[in-house]
């Protein structure tokens, strides 16, 4: 059975779902960033711990991305 590339399949649905998840993740990231900036402006003593937390989260995100790329590359 041959497939017709002109007929939209499930890939379109998955692409839309990925886009929605990406937009939600970006929105949550912007909300968290805004909250951290506001908190550091209102309570300057919290700026140090917030910076450490942001660095740790950035490192975890980078490590997760590298692991995901390695897993995809091995497939």
Q: What is the pLDDT of residues 33-52, one digit of tens each?
A: 898 889 889 988 988 988 89
Question: What is the pLDDT at residue 7?
Answer: 59
For residue 32, give the 3-state DSSP assignment: helix
Q: How far apart are alpha carbons 47 and 36 in whole angstroms?
A: 9
Angle between helices 10-42 and 47-74 (to 10 degrees): 160
Q: Which is more confident, 69 or 11? A: 69
Banded pLDDT at 67 (limits 50, 70, 90)? very high
Q: How far apart are alpha carbons 47 and 49 in whole angstroms?
A: 6
Predicted model pTM: 0.59
**Count of residues making up the chain:** 75
């Amino acid at each position: 059975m041959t497939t017709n590339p002109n007929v939209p399949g499930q890939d379109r649905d998955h692409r839309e779902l990925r886009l929605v998840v990406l937009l939600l993740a970006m929105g949550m990231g912007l909300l968290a960033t805004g909250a951290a900036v506001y908190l550091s402006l209102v309570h300057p003593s919290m700026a140090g711990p917030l910076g450490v937390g942001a660095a740790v989260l950035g490192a975890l995100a980078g490590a997760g991305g590298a692991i995901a790329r390695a897993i995809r590359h091995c497939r």
